[in-house]
Structure 1
Amino acid sequence: MLQYSWREQRLVLAVCFFAALLEGYDLQSAGLAGPGMAADFKLDRLQLGWVFSSNTLGLFIGAMVGGRLSDRLGRRSGLASALATFGIFSIASAFTGGFADLTVMRFFTGVGLGGALPNLIALVAAVSVPQVRAGRVAMIAAGMPLGGSMAALLTQWLERGEWRVIFVVGGVLPLLLAMLALRWLRAEPLYARQQVDNETGGFAHALFGERRTGLTVALWISSFCTLLVLYLMLNWLPTLMLARGGDKGNVLWAVFGFSVAGAVGALAFGYIIARRARTVVLLAAHAGLGISLLALAIVQDAAIIIAASFTGFFVTGIQFVLYGLSADCYPSELRGTGTGASVAVGRLGGIVGPLLAGVMMSVGTEVSSLLTSLLPLVAVAALTTTMLTLRKPADAISRRVA
């Protein structure tokens, strides 16, 4: 294991925090630019849903290959490559001429965004001792919703026709950070490729063997439902609130509140879940999310800022806890396969969510009806997440079976 001086640790943590910040900015940017893009390119709501979902499809693919490239290129080069990828294609998104070009550029932006997360987490873990590793990763991850709030603040000073500025800023800054990462961070040795169990049924055994079928299915359902709601809100919140006749200022503050409260929720639930009864806390969190969505469907004027903030607090907090719970579902030797599959299934929910909103809006569904239609998904996620919290960690189960 490489040894890092305190100065090197601070440099790594700073670069990774700003990488997370910029990733959060770019994740939010498409939703904030949505009304302007729709007006300039005459996009209907279904087309806008495809633009949003193409970005999330890129996230899905980028997340799958990001860790592998990290092992082959080294963490520093992997992170810099991901930052450069989403920086270049974010800038390219600002200079597209229509629906097809925009969809392609947002897809490749998503590939870069998806690849950045596993690299920055690996870097943070590399410079952290076990006692502080989880806390450091949580702090870095909280940069993502904070980055989304920065995008919302920038949009406050822009007119609808200036949406391209959002993408340009979201492209230039990652390119600068990529150069700084290559300059400041120590190059790591290439990681040797680990031996993979190619035994027939090995993948299926990792997910469903030794009585893990129920846990895997429950984890997949929870991840799918939660990320469906989260990415629908990330992409469609401004458009939905404007469609309800919301004031632009209130809508942008609602997006800002959603992102900032999401950062607070990520830190708060990460802290609370280690010190309180998981089942009770998570049931309360899902109930809070349902009430917040219902309020968002009903309230008007400045009250949407409060409702959006609570929605961001609960849905982001729940998702971060799910990442932690996924590690308990599989023994250490199978944890990469298990958690990777759950992230992939969750990303599928992130693809379906924005597209579902686009389809529903294109056929004339009221915004309030769209938001309340998410409540059954929240209830299902509450049930399956409760199943996860009531089971013992997989390592203990494996030892007992053995």
Structure 2
Amino acid sequence: MTPTRPVVNVDSVLDGVRFQGLPLLVTICAVTILVLDGFDIQIIGFAAPALTQEFGIERKALGPVLAAALLGMALGAFAGGSAGDRWGRRPTLIVSMAVVGAATLAAAMAHSLEALTFWRLLTGIGLGGTLPNATALMAEFAPPRWRSQAIAATIVGVPIGGMIGAAIAAEIVPTFGWRVLFVVGAMLPLGMAVWMYFVLPESARFLATRPDRHRDLASLLGRIFPGQSWKGDEQFVLASPAEEQSAGLRTLFSRSFARDTIAAWLVFLTNIFAVYAFFNWIAVVLTSVDLDIATAVRASFVFNLAGVIGAVANAWIIARYGSRWPLAAMALIAAAALWWLARLPLGGEASQALLPSLLAGVAIAGLAINAVQIGMYAVVAHIYPTACRSSGVGWALGFGRLGGILSSFGGAMLLSLGGSQGFFGGIGLAMVLACASLLLIRNHLPVMAAQHPKS
């Protein structure tokens, strides 16, 4: 008679983990990944004014270069999310970071807009693969009590990276040019890929869905819980219902998830339009109203710094009061700040006189827009179970990147048709649409959701 294999509920085991050891190491890795992503995502925006001068082009000619990375990020999010669910979060993250570094280094040596556009497309593919897998890894490693805050701390790495990048760009670009900035932006992710190869573990919940890797899972659980041991011949299971244990796009549009999938995609579409309109065009917009490039780049720093503050504060609020109303309120605050910016009569000497009001509006918009963006990562990771979490996050981000692509051309159109007022007003309308879409999501993080998340 074959002895009964002991059943181990991996979700229950991991829900007792403390935020130290491997979970803390994963958090550090994920935050660092997103900091470097934030740098490389926004690097083209920091270099945009210098690019127009070097290549002798008008601002609108940068649209394809700006859109290339965003198109790549959409493709990378679709492919990277599926790859993470099929082959694991760890290998997908390592390969994605290596692609980011290699393509950014190649872009530093580009001598035509066509070459730069191609390398930015490849950079975007790498960037797109990192975000869904870093989010899934954090959702599957962090203790329940800290899960939404840990995801927020991870994704807040994007504005932190942008903030660091803006500070570096303000010093490097005027003195050494944009190519040196790109070399710096290449070396860091390449080094990170090597470091992750040696230290980053695979997700225990992912391993639980792969019977042929249960010995790896037993070893990993032994590292997470040093006082306990597993042999690898146990029957490892997850708490998710059996019908949710299939991955793929069809699952995202099943009866259980269809409404939330569509609504989440619309939030990402409109909010990413707003985020990337700032990332890609704020320096160009402000130099167009007679502010110098250093001041324009520092406005990007203000946008990102305020975004970090907003994301951290909003994560704390969401953990206590749920995600629906805090995120909706942030979207409306962003729309109000953008309406304020659209009313400022910028241009000539007035721009310098109105600089404090301008920066205050940029800060409030940055705080609220980034709070929505980063809060939505926690929401979309909560909506889907382990088997399709990377795919769910990846497809939401991939669809959202269409908003980023639209911002590459739409930002130029808004600026040319309505100046700075049209630019800020158009983004404000996008945030109103983001608020409406947020309210359509049914499966928001509830009050104190971090203690009882979806597995």
Q: Same fold (TM over 0.5)?
A: yes
1:313-392 alignment, distance < 5 Å? 313-326=367-380, 339-361=393-415, 363-388=416-441
Residues 1:113 and 1:44: Cα distance change in structure 2 (over 3 Å): same
1:319-361 deviations in Å (ceiling 9; x for gaps): 2233334456668877666554433321211111122112344
So what's the TM-score if we normalise by structure 1?
Answer: 0.84
After superposition, residues 141-156 of structure 1 pair within 5 angstroms as 141-156=155-170
Q: Are residue 169 (structure 1) and residue 184 (structure 2) matched?
A: yes
**1:380 Cα deviation after fit:** 2.2
Taking a change above 3 Å as real, the CA distance of residues 318 and 124 of structure 1, as seen in their structure-2 partners, is closer
Matched, 1:184 2:237: no
Map of 2:253 onto structure 1:
207
Q: Which deviates the most, 231-240 or 344-353?
A: 344-353
Q: Superposed, which structure 2 residues align to 1:54-203 within 5 Å?
A: 54-71=68-85, 73-160=87-174, 162-186=177-201
CA offsets 1:36-82 (integer angstroms, 9 cap, x no match): 11111123223211111110011111111213333555433322211
Q: What is the DSSP-based 3-state SS (H/G/I as helix, E as strand, rest coil) of the residue aligned with 2:42? A: helix
> Which stretch of the first structure deviates more once superposed, 69-78 or 313-322?
69-78
Mean CA deviation greater in 85-94 or 122-131: 122-131
In structure 1, distance between residues paired with 2:42 and 2:192: 19
Cα displacement string for residues 152-186 of structure 1 (whole angstroms, at most 9, x for unaligned residues) = 00122124461112211110011111111123335
3-state SS of paired residue (2:109): coil
Offset at 1:286? 2.3
Identity across matched positions, percent: 28
Q: 1:76 to 1:252 in 2, by over 3 A?
A: same
Residues 179-206 of structure 1 show CA distances to partners (whole Å, capped at 9, x for unaligned) of: 1112333578995679x99xxxx95674
Give secondary structure in 1 for the equivalent of 2:296. helix
Which structure has the bigger radius of gyration?
Answer: 2
Name the residue aligned to 2:337. Answer: 292
Per the alignment, do residues 99 and 391 of structure 1 end up closer, same or farther by CA in structure 2, a change over 3 Å counting? closer
Is contact 1:49-1:354 (8 Å) kept?
Answer: yes
Counterpart of 1:64 in structure 2: which amino acid?
F
Residue by residue, what CA displacement relative to the aligned partner does 1:241-263 show, whole Å, maximum 9, x if unpaired?
Answer: 11111233332221111111111
Q: Which amino acid aligns with 2:95?
A: S
Q: Give the 5 Å matches for 1:189-338.
A: 206-207=252-253, 209=255, 215-276=260-321, 278-297=323-342, 298=344, 300-326=354-380
- 1:47 pairs, out of 57, 61, 65, with 61
1:369 aligned counterpart, secondary structure: helix
SS of equivalent residue, structure 1 residue 97: coil
Q: Distance in 1 between matches of 2:26 and 2:382?
A: 28
Name the aligned partner's letter for residue 322 of structure 1.
Answer: M
The size of the alignment, in residue pairs, is 386
* Contact 1:21–1:144 (Cα < 8 Å) also in 2: yes
Judging changes above 3 Å, is the alpha-carbon distance between structure 1 residues 339 and 124 closer, same or farther for their aligned structure 2 residues?
closer
8 Å contact kept, 1:85–1:109: yes
CA shift at 1:369, angstroms? 1.5
Maintained 8 Å contact 1:250/1:302: no
Q: What secondary structure, in the 3-state scheme, does the structure 1 residue paired with 2:80 have?
A: helix
**Which of 30, 42, 49 is equivalent to 1:35?**
49
- Cα distance change on mapping 1:371 and 1:186 into 2, 3 Å: closer
Deviation, 1:126, is: 4.6
Q: 1:114 to 1:366 in 2, by over 3 A?
A: same
Counterpart for residue 350 of structure 2? none
User: Deviation at 1:13?
Assistant: 2.6
Deviates more, 1:145-154 or 1:5-14: 5-14
Change (3 A) 1:251 1:282: same
Change (3 A) 1:331 1:168: closer
Aligned-residue Cα RMSD (Å) equals 3.2
Structure 2 unmatched runs, 5+: 1-9, 212-241, 347-353, 447-455
Alpha-carbon offset, residue 305 of structure 1: 2.2
**What are the superposed Cα offsets for residues 304-324 of structure 1, whole Å, 9 maximum, x if unpaired?**
222211111111111223333
- With 238-247 and 168-177 compared, the bigger mean Cα shift is at 238-247
Contact kept, 8 Å, 1:246 with 1:301, in 2: the verdict is no
Task: Work out whether residues 269 and 402 of structure 2, in 8 Å CA contact, stay in contact via their aligned partners in 1.
Answer: yes
Report if aligned partners of 2:152, 2:375 keep a CA contact under 8 Å in 1: no
CA contact (8 A) 2:34 2:158 kept: yes
SS at match of 1:16: helix
Whether contact under 8 Å (1:223, 1:319) holds in the other structure is yes
Q: Secondary structure at the match of 1:366?
A: helix
Q: How far apart are 1:135 and its partner, in Å?
A: 2.2
d(CA) in 2 for partners of 1:367 and 1:141?
29
Q: Secondary structure at the match of 1:209?
A: coil
